[in-house]
Chains A and B, each alone.
Chain A
Amino acid sequence: MQIPASSPAIDVAGVPTPAAPAPGLTRGRAVPYWLLLPGMLWLTVFFVVPLVSLFATSLQSPVSDNPDDGYYFNWDFSNYSEALSRYGEQYVRSFVFAGLATLLALAIAYPLAYFIAFKAGRWKALLLVLVVAPFFASFLIRTYAWRTILADEGFVVDLLNALNLLPQDRVLNTPLAVVTGITYNFLPFMILPLYASLDKIDPRLAEAGADLYAKPLTTFRKVIWPLSMPGVVAGTLLTFIPAAGDYINARLLGSTNDRMIGSVIDSQFIIVRDYPIASALSFLLMATILILVTIYVRRAGTEDLL
């Protein structure tokens, strides 16, 4: 077959080519798919398929009383009611602790982020590094360090006792220690998004507010706070989601009465090997978080965050 040397490359009748982000670089239509293929394949096989597998496992029944005999799939939805009735307490506690820690983290992080964004001047970059820095020291060891700080004979407990603030005379192995630890561990994830959205606000807006007769607090409430909402939403999500699934803090800093759902999933999977119940709990946790997040984001009116 003879191909003309200079075939007209232009589609005269044509479908218009869409405006590409970088014209001249997007030649092959297949190129993006080749770029995506390995990564997406990995995520599909090791994230999506496992979730399906998790769901499937949550509907299995034991072959016998001995977990070594394994499980078989039989649409056993009773695992869910069973899981909830057995571990409802830990399940609810997870969300309560995560919610408390999220609120605490917001209260601690907002002023700090505000300070970095508006008042830090040339120390801004350094402060940001300081905010990120602690989390380069091992997560487990930092959490473990709280055992030393909150120890019964430590200065923190002494101080709080002197002020008569402790009903139980101790912090370690109480819910207070767990919430303190969770708040601490996820604080940077609250501060950074808050900072990112506060930093985008033109400080002159606050001046304009003051110029228009708003008191500082009114200016904050009517101008700064609404504009920082994307950061607040992102920060609370980034704190709440991992906090709800966390169980390290509860295990290291709390008593056996403070266990969270992650702990149950962990032990059901690894020690008890009741895979269906563990899977049901895990799947419930994810579903609940997704539902809560969706409601929250809808109400906050910032769907574009997702």
Chain B
Amino acid sequence: MADPTSTPVVPGPREPRLASTTLDPALLAAPPARESGVQRSVRWVREHTLALYSALALVYMFLPVAVVVLFSFNDPAGRQNTRWNEFSLDAWTNICKDPTICRSVGVSVSIALVATIVGTILGTMISFALVRHRFRGRASTNLLIFLPMATPEVVLGSSLLALFLNMYWGNWQMPLGFWTILIAHIMFVISFVVVTVKARLAGLDPRLEQAAMDLYADEKATFRYVTLPLVAPGIMGAALLAFSLSFDDFIITNFNSGSTVTFPMYIWGAAQRGIPPQVNVIASIMFFGALAIVLLAQVLGARRRRVVARGTGSVASGAAGTAPVAAEELARRPS
């Protein structure tokens, strides 16, 4: 430890430091025998700058969430729920006070469920093709997967609208609504499913499948008893991601919704005249629900990883790497 400030302090009699007006030059050269409170806190801050900075960044990230949760307990004075008035459990006990809220949540959930199921199946199939097979057109397939993620949502939404507007036959015009929203959502979740499942699949030791075939499992049995159970966590993660992307999407939906109102559409409409605290309640439920699922998965995953670390891991390959890759892909789009 070369840092003089970290030299152990030798206990001794308190020096009348403030009393002396002239400083002994020898004292200046020597490391200080004792730190003042200020010095100590300066040193502490310097040693923990990074941690403090990180803590502040987390505060920045959680501040709005805290506000959302807090204001779900507010009894707003007027229509706008932006100023604290009075604690109330009203919103929590009477979520469906305005039935349009709950109806919009229902619409969002059904769209998200169908989009998740279809998107996860289609995306998983593509991942298997990409990881498990060699074929012509691989590069263009990868490009077609990547592009929707690199396209701003306004462009995705508006281009789909341009398509739907051009879909007419005589007097029939493609009606905007539930089905057009669903089509759009399936389209944009596929890419996210592909990258998430692909990461998991790529981390899967091909020898496990070979071992299954060596042990009399044909292609179907190998898939059912070995491949699928091992890729399942990746598929589950992808489905969770797809659901939350679909449920929370506003921009793409806004272009293609017609008169159908999803939950984000409801919020957008309500923002002008004041968002009721029930919306905060639903957002809080979503937040804590998802947090619980993720934490649970982490705990289970951590236990598995610890066990793996102990053994000489034929399993270890991949498992650890999947999370950040998936997270990175997850990171590509907000809503």
Contact = CB atoms under 8 A, between A and B. Distances in A.
Direct contact of A and B (CB under 8 A): yes
Given A39-B190, A133-B290, A282-B159, A22 B283 contact: no
B125 A25 contact: no
Nearest to A148: B82
B264 A262 contact: no
Interface string A183-201: 0111111111101100100
Interface in A70-102: none
B154 to A, nearest CB: 4
A127 B50 CA distance: 14
A43 B145 CA distance: 8
B152 A262 contact: yes
**Which interface class (under 10, 10 to 19, 20 to 34, 35 or more) fits B?**
35 or more
B296 to A, nearest CB: 10
A115 B71 contact: no
Contacts of A234: 328
A162 interface: no
Interface in B184-219: 184, 186-187, 190-191, 194, 206, 209-210, 213, 219
A135 B133 CA distance: 35
Contact of B141 (A36, A136, A138): A36
A14 to B, nearest CB: 17
A146 B64 contact: yes
B153 A242 contact: yes
Interface string B137-181: 000010011111011111110111111011000000000000000
Contacts of A289: 150-152
A94 to B, nearest CB: 9
A235 B254 CA distance: 27
A94 B171 CA distance: 39
A46 B184 contact: yes
A210 interface: no
A50 B123 contact: no
Contact of B61 (A131, A136, A245): A131
A142 B82 contact: no
A128 B327 contact: yes
A229 interface: no
Contact of A39 (B125, B289, B291): B125
Which of A43, A131, A199 has the most CB atoms of chain B within a 10 A radius of its CB? A43
Nearest to B268: A140
Which of B60, B184, B186, B213 has the most CB atoms of chain A within a 10 A radius of its CB? B60
Contacts of B244: 136
B160 A46 contact: yes
Contacts of A208: none
Interface string B289-301: 1110011001000
Contacts of B290: 133, 136
Contact of B267 (A144, A193, A238): A144
A283 to B, nearest CB: 8
A201 B28 CA distance: 42
A141 B282 CA distance: 10
A46 B160 CA distance: 7
A33 interface: yes
B160 A32 contact: no
A189 B298 contact: no
Interface string B50-62: 1101100110111
Given A54-B159, A242-B152, A145 B67 contact: yes
B271 interface: yes
Interface in B232-273: 244, 248, 250-251, 254-255, 263-264, 267-268, 271
A130 interface: yes
A184 B330 CA distance: 16
Nearest to A200: B324
Given A137-B284, A139-B334, A36 B54 contact: no
Interface of A, secondary structure class, is helix
B335 interface: yes
Which of B50, B133, B287 has the most CB atoms of chain A within a 10 A radius of its CB? B133
Contacts of B67: 145, 148-149
B108 to A, nearest CB: 10
A35 B328 contact: no
Contact of A23 (B145, B146, B210): B210
Contact of A115 (B54, B190, B222, B280): B54
B151 A286 contact: yes
B77 interface: no
B131 interface: yes
A22 B206 contact: yes
A31 B279 CA distance: 47
Nearest to A185: B334
Given A112-B58, A132-B330, A140-B250, A32 B133 contact: yes
Contacts of B222: 25
15 contacts: A29-B135, A31-B129, A39-B123, A57-B166, A132-B330, A133-B290, A142-B64, A145-B67, A148-B83, A196-B324, A242-B334, A245-B154, A266-B254, A285-B154, A289-B151
Interface of B: 50-51, 53-54, 57-58, 60-65, 67-68, 71, 82-83, 122-123, 125-126, 128-129, 131-135, 141, 144-148, 150-156, 158-163, 165-166, 183-184, 186-187, 190-191, 194, 206, 209-210, 213, 219, 222, 244, 248, 250-251, 254-255, 263-264, 267-268, 271, 275, 279-280, 282-284, 286-287, 289-291, 294-295, 298, 302, 323-325, 327-328, 330-335
Given A134-B64, A266-B251, A290-B150, 7 more contacts: A42-B186, A53-B159, A56-B162, A112-B57, A270-B254, A285-B154, A289-B151
